Amino acid sequence: AQTVTQSQPEMSVQEAETVTLSCTYDTSESDYYLFWYKQPPSRQMILVIRQEAYKQQNATENRFSVNFQKAAKSFSLKISDSQLGDAAMYFCASYYNQGGKLIFGQGTELSVKP
Amino acid sequence: GAGVSQSPSNKVTEKGKDVELRCDPISGHTALYWYRQRLGQGLEFLIYFQGNSAPDKSGLPSDRFSAERTGESVSTLTIQRTQQEDSAVYLCASSFNRNQPQHFGDGTRLSIL
C-alpha cells in the first residue's frame, strides 16, 4: 500500500524566516507525482507546489521550493521569507498514474509569529 | 463560479437519517473525487469518477455510502442511516483529466447528533 508520512504535527516560524516541512512516502510505483497542499481555516485545499517523480530538478514556486530525494523517498517543503498568511495546515500528498486518487499525510500545522 | 462548488456548507442531522451532499465540479473537468477529512486528520479517499463511471470506489467505508454522477457534471454523495462516526468534512475535487492537478471545493461539514 502507498503511504505518506508527515512526522511533524506542528511547526512554528518567525515572520520573514525560513521553515522546512518534512514528508516521506512509500511506493513501489515508478510513475507518480508529489504535491504540497495548504489548508487554511476556510477548509479549502490550495495547491502549493507539484513535483513529477521523473524530474530530477526540484520544483520551485516563488517562495516555496521542494527538496525531492527520490532514493530516500523524501519530499520536503521549504518556505522562504515566511509571511503571516502562510499560517495553515500543510498536507503532503502522492498520486500514482495507475490510480486516480491522492494519498495524503496527516498534516503539519504551521504557525507564523510576527 | 469558476471553482468547485459544494452544498450545503454545513449539515447537522440526527443519527439514523440519510444525507445527500452535492458537488458541482469546474466546467469541463472530466474527473471528480470525493474525500473525507475527520477532525485533525488528513484526507481519506472515498471514490473517483471519470465521466459518469466510477473506476475506483475502494475508499467507500461501508455500503451505507454511495455516490453518483450524472451528465459528467454534478455528483452527489449519499450516506444512509448516518452514524456518529460519519461526522467529518466531506471534500470534493475535480480535475481536467485524471493526471491533472485536483482543485478542491470548500467542503461540507457534516455533524451527526
Contact flag A101-B105 (C-beta cutoff 8 Å): no
So what's the pLDDT on residue B105? 95
Please give, rounded to a whole number of angstroms, the shortest distance from the CA of B43 to a CA of chain A. 6
The span from the CA of B91 to the CA of B108, in Å, is 7
A64 touching B, CB under 8 A? Answer: no
Tens digits of residue pLDDT in B55-100: 888 899 999 999 999 877 999 999 999 999 999 999 999 999 877 8
Cα angle for residues B93, B13, B16 (degrees, 5° grid): 105
Q: Is the pLDDT of residue B1 over 60?
A: no
Taking contacts as CB-CB distances below 8 angstroms, the residues of chain A near B59 are 101
* DSSP string computed for B15-40: TT--EEEEEEPPTT--EEEEEEE-TT
B106: nearest CB among A33, A42, A93: A42
Q: Are A44 and B105 within 8 A, CB to CB?
A: yes
Q: Which residues contact B89 (CB under 8 A, 6 or more apart)?
A: A43, B36, B37, B107, B108, B109, B110
The three-state secondary structure class of A68 is: strand
Q: Is A101's CB within 8 Å of B91's CB?
A: no
- What's the pLDDT tens digit per position in A44-101? 899 999 999 999 899 999 999 999 999 999 999 999 999 999 999 999 999 987 667 8
From residue A65, how far is each of A76, B8, B45 by CA, in Å?
Answer: 8, 36, 26
C-beta of residue A38 within 8 angstroms of C-beta of residue A112: no
Contacts of A53 in chain B (CB under 8 A): none
Residue B87 CB-density burial (10 A; 0-12 exposed, 13-18 middle, 19+ buried):
middle
A98 touches chain B (CB under 8 A): no
Joined together, the cell numbers standing for residue B62 give 461501508
Backbone φ, ψ for residue B84 (5° rounding) = -60, -30
Half-sphere exposure of A9 (CA within 13 A, CB side): 2
Interface contact flag, B104 A50, Cβ < 8 Å: no
Distance from CA of B73 to the nearest CA of A (A): 17
